[in-house]
Amino acid sequence: MTFQDLGLREELVAAISRLGFEQPTPIQEQAIPFLLSEQRDLIALAQTGTGKTAAFGLPVLNQIDERRQVVQCLVLSPTRELCMQIAKDLRNYAADMAVRIVAVYGGEDIRVQLRQLDQTPQIIVATPGRLIDLCGRGKVVLDEVGMLVLDEADEMLDMGFKDDIEQILSQTPQTRRTMLFSATMPPDIARMAGQYMHDPHEITIGTRNSGTENVDHIYYICKATQRYLVLKRIVDMNPDIYGIVFCRTREETKDVAERLMKDGYNADALHGDLTQAARDAVMRKFRERTLQLLVATDVAARGLDVSDLTHVINYNLPDDIEVYTHRSGRTGRIGKRGISVSIIHSREKHRIRSIERMLKRSFTQEPIPSGMDVCRKQLFNFISRMQHVEVDDDQIAPYMPEVMAMLEYLDTQEIIKRFVSLEFNRFIDYYRDAPDLNLPASDSSGKSAAERGTGSKRSGERIRMKLNIGHEQHATPKMILGIINRVTHDRDIIVRDIEIARRYTFFSIFADQAERLKQGFKDSDEFDLSEVKGRRAADDRPVGRQRDGRQMKHDRTGGSRRPARERQAKQDDWQQFFGGDIEVFIDDDERFAKRKSKSAARQETLRPAQAGGRRSHEKFPASRTNGRKHR
């Protein structure tokens, strides 16, 4: 089917043919014949970028009476950028017609728009706020409006224009024809349609509230603190990327954009703190592709109409699932394919599942590219660019003799090596020691089998191991797990019951994994790993009870509020004073209890004598934690 088959006026068919459009998109193929042949209201649901402007614009122009100098059609849009784009498209379609089209929007000197309205247009494209202002001044009269278009209606409601829209609708005739175009159909849109539309016909392209079929949805799982590093790898793996990075807040938008620019990327920010002039400058550079990446908030990016985006990157998932539909719909437009990328934390996987259910699309988890993956991609992209570069012989010919003379001592292979290294070295230097950003094989909580510890259902014989690092080296369970993973290069070893003492850490592993662990630590100069046999020495005893690798606040004396390390050091000093046959415990009130053996029935409670009443032969040790004697 062609546009001529749809029944449009010859002037419109000729104009769109000059613009390069040959066949209508699905939404145009269904909406245009209906609007030309029926007088009912219309609800059209289709993703951004599917050709909705032509779907309502062509039939509206087809029915405009060029001889009547009154406002016959009103088009409402949520943002200045979309308003300007719609007006531009309508003027292109009406190039062979005598139709006057005026766009009115905030952010521009109202005096300019007042002069444009001195001659009444047949079509007004407006944002709600500025239109209400002009109506209040008596410059715009809506009494003769026969066609009303609400474009991106869901976004207008999201932006808080509900009251403004209702005020505008109240100034238009009840006999008007209303056309509502939207990407999604939230409850507010359904209520508005029921209140202000008359027996509307609904056209849905795809599935209601679903995403476009031309977009591939992928996601990467990483630590929350590594989102920016993952973003850089995504960008570096796609050298020809042209996309929008969506952030939640203005501050995050500024931070990400500043870091990208500092790291040498062609990026800039779009957020609510920008003046209109600064916003226009950023958008101009982005449309001209001077910028590869636009970092934006959802509010700032609403209504942007930029073609040929290759990627949309969700630096954070949106709080409202329906916002994801608008984000992803900015790529994969009009038959072209696009990619929507999400960077998430492991605890956000359930949100991916929710979006999948809403869009009725499957998301693919992909591994985060390694440093060498990025270098390889950049190298071959550089070679591809070199192969397809256009050589202007006339321009370069005068310089070639001198160039050849400078390179004559190098053979062809050496020239190629140096030529490649000139571009390639900067990526190699940056990614040479780049860490693996992928999380270990994990469950839904994002913890590895080692980190889950007692959460694993595996059973079997276990043995106790001892590592020469403890509280004196500020060891933590997380540090111990990291050391084991790093030294053994094996993330499948299950570690349980971590206990951290002053100088050592103890943990349990399954017997069939012991040899792998020992082999990994065999050549380590930094760490000494051994199997625990027999009773532990005093320095081997853990500081406080531990549960699942986490130190408890209370020790086995019943819960002293003093720091565990300080209390243990003091207890060890008293232990040394009394000798090996006596066991000593410190309680909450700086008192200690001593007993001769575990089987002793009598336990004596003592208080250290005051300095003035101390016997001459009593010597009390100094505390290791504060250097002072006990009092």
Sequence-distant (6+) residues with CB within 8 A of 177 are 39, 40, 41, 146, 147, 148
Between 37-51, 143-157, 398-412, 595-609, the lowest mean confidence (pLDDT) is in 595-609
In a domain, residue 442? The reply is no
Q: Is the pLDDT score of 340 beyond 60? A: yes
Order of strands across the sheet with 592-595? Answer: 583-586, 592-595, 604-606
572 in the same domain as 546: no
pLDDT at 307: 75
pLDDT above 60 for 137: yes
What pLDDT score does 210 carry? 53
Q: Is the pLDDT of residue 28 over 50?
A: yes
Say yes or no: 275 and 351 in one domain.
Answer: yes
470 contacts: CB under 8 Å, gap ≥ 6:
500, 501, 502, 503, 504, 505
How confident is residue 535, by pLDDT bands cut at 50, 70 and 90? low
Would the pLDDT of 25 be above 50?
A: yes
Work out the pLDDT band at 614, boundaries 50, 70, 90.
Answer: very low
Nearest to 370 by CA among 315, 435, 430, 429: 435
Q: Is 195 or 232 the better-scoring residue by pLDDT?
A: 232
User: Which pLDDT tens digit goes with each residue over 94-124?
Assistant: 999 999 999 999 878 889 999 999 999 999 9
* Token output for 170: 């109240």
Answer yes or no: is pLDDT of 624 > 50.
no
Residue 123 near residue 64, CB atoms below 8 Å = yes
* Signed CA dihedral, 525, 529, 535, 541: sign only: positive
- 615: helix, strand or coil: coil
Answer whether residue 363 shows pLDDT above 70. Answer: yes
- List all residues 6 or more positions away from 490 whose beta carbon is below 8 Å from its beta carbon: 516, 517, 520
Q: Is 63 in the same domain as 109?
A: yes
Instruction: Report which listed range, 184-193, 241-250, 526-535, 601-610, is most confident.
Output: 241-250
User: How many residues belong to the chain?
Assistant: 631
Structural domain of 587: 564-613
- Answer yes or no: is pLDDT of 350 > 60: yes
3-state helix, strand and coil shares in percent for the chain, rounded to the nearest 5:
40, 15, 40
Same domain? For 21 and 154 the reply is yes
Mean per-residue pLDDT over the chain, rounded: 79
pLDDT of the residue at 94: 93
Query: What pLDDT digit, counting tens, does each position of 483-501 carry?
Result: 888 888 777 788 888 898 8
- Residue 606: its H or E element: strand 604-606
Q: Which H helix or E strand runs over 381? A: helix 371-388
Measure the CA–CA gap between 92 and 95, rounded to whole angstroms.
5
Average of per-residue pLDDT across 605-624 = 39
Sign, CA dihedral 178-184-188-191, equals positive
The pairing of strands 177-182 and 201-204 is: unpaired
Q: Is residue 334 pLDDT above 50, yes or no?
A: yes
Q: How far apart are the first and last CA of the chain?
A: 98
Domain count, the chain: 5
Q: Within 10 A of 90 (CB to CB), how many other CB atoms are there?
A: 23
CA angle 355, 357, 361 (to 5 degrees): 80
Asked if 21 and 146 sit in the same domain, the reply is yes
CB atoms within 10 A of CB 103: 25
**Token pair of 507 as six digits:** 């943990």
Residues 189 and 49 occupy one common structural domain: yes
Same domain, 146 and 192: yes
Angle at 201 between CA 16 and CA 61, to 5 degrees: 25
- CATH of residue 490's domain is 3.30.70.2280
H/E stretch holding 376 reads helix 371-388
Given a cut of 70, is residue 626 above it in pLDDT?
Answer: no
Q: What is the CA radius of gyration of the chain?
A: 36
Share of the chain above pLDDT 70, in %: 79
Is the predicted pLDDT of residue 208 greater than 80, yes or no? no
Answer yes or no: is pLDDT of 551 > 50: no
Q: 292 with 314, same domain?
A: yes
Q: What is the mean predicted confidence (pLDDT) over 256-276?
A: 90
Asked whether residue 624 is assigned to any structural domain, the reply reads no
pLDDT of 375 reads 86
Residue after which a domain boundary falls, among 174, 204, 234: 204
Is residue 400 included in any domain, yes or no? Answer: yes
Asked, for residue 413, whether it belongs to a domain, the answer is yes
CATH code of the domain containing 195? 3.40.50.300
Dihedral angle computed from the Cα positions of residues 271, 277, 281 and 286, in that order, rounded to the nearest 10 degrees: 40
417-426 pLDDT, tens digit per residue, is 888 887 778 7
Q: Do the domain assignments include residue 436? A: no
- Looking at the domain assignment, is residue 417 inside a domain? yes
pTM above 0.75, yes or no: no
CA proximity to 474, closest of 452, 453, 503: 503
pLDDT, residue 140, reads 93
Residues 69 and 197 in one domain: yes
Residue 454, pLDDT > 50, answer no
158, 175, 204 - which closes a domain: 204
pLDDT of residue 478: 84
Highest averaged pLDDT of the listed ranges 91-95, 153-157, 614-618: 91-95
Q: Does residue 298 sit in the same domain as residue 321?
A: yes
Dist. CA 148–CA 166, nearest whole Å = 13
Per DSSP (E only), the strands in 157-242 are 177-182, 201-204, 215-221
Strand partners of residue 28: none
Question: Residue 533: its pLDDT value, please?
Answer: 74
Take residue 292 and report the two structure tokens written for it.
């590869």
H or E stretch at 514:
helix 514-521
Q: What is the rounded average pLDDT of the residues 141-148?
A: 93
Same domain, 294 and 411: no
Residue among 261, 290, 255 nearest 273 (CA): 255
605 and 487: one domain? no
* Region 61-89 average pLDDT: 91
Asked whether residue 563 carries a pLDDT value surpassing 70, the answer given is no
pLDDT band at 55 (very low <50, low <70, confident <90, very high): very high
